[in-house]
Amino acid sequence: MTSERPREVTKVHARLLKCALEVEDARAYWAHAAPTANRRPANGAGALPERAPAATSERAFEEYWFGARSMPRIEVLLSNMRARFDAYPPALAVLGRWPDMPPDTRALICHWHLQLTDPLYRAFTGDYLVARRAGPRDHITRDLVVAWVSENAPDRWTMATRIQFASKLLSSALSAGLLAGRRDPRPLALPRVRDHALEYLLYLLREIDFDGTLLENPYLASVGLTGPGGKEILEDRLRQLPSIDFGRQGDLIDITWRYPDLRAWADHTLARPGPESAGAAQ
Q: What is the pLDDT of residue 51?
A: 53
Query: Residue 3: pLDDT band by 50, 70, 90 thresholds?
Result: low
Angle in degrees, CA 10, 16, 18, rounded to 5: 140
Contacts of 257 (CB under 8 A, 6+ apart): 203, 206, 243, 244
Q: What is the pLDDT of residue 277?
A: 45
Q: How far, CA to CA in Å, does 198 sit from each of 108, 221, 254, 279? A: 9, 12, 18, 9
Residue 1 has pLDDT above 80, yes or no: no
Residue 165 has pLDDT above 70, yes or no: yes
Q: What is the pLDDT of residue 189?
A: 97
Which amino acid is residue 195, in one-letter code? Answer: D
Contacts of 47 (CB under 8 A, 6+ apart): 38, 39, 40
Q: Which residue has the higher pLDDT, 222 or 277?
A: 222
Query: Residue 230: pLDDT band by 50, 70, 90 thresholds?
Result: low
Q: CA-to-CA distance for 125 and 147, rounded, in angstroms?
A: 15
Residue 182 has pLDDT above 90, yes or no: yes
75, 57 Cβ separation under 8 angstroms: yes
Query: Residue 281: pLDDT band by 50, 70, 90 thresholds?
Result: very low
Q: What are the tens digits of pLDDT across the range 62-115?
A: 999 999 999 999 999 999 999 999 999 889 999 999 978 999 999 999 999 999
Q: What is the pLDDT of residue 106?
A: 97
9-18: b (≥16 Cβ within 10 Å) or e: beeeeebbee
How much is the average pLDDT of 141-169?
96
DSSP state string for 57-101: HHHHHHTTTTSS--HHHHHHHHHHHIIIIITSHHHHHHHTT-TT-
Q: What are the tens digits of pLDDT across the range 17-59?
A: 999 999 999 999 999 988 754 433 333 334 434 455 678 899 9
Q: Which residue has the higher pLDDT, 78 or 248?
A: 78
Q: What is the pLDDT of residue 248?
A: 84
Residue 236 has pLDDT above 50, yes or no: yes
Residue 279 has pLDDT above 80, yes or no: no
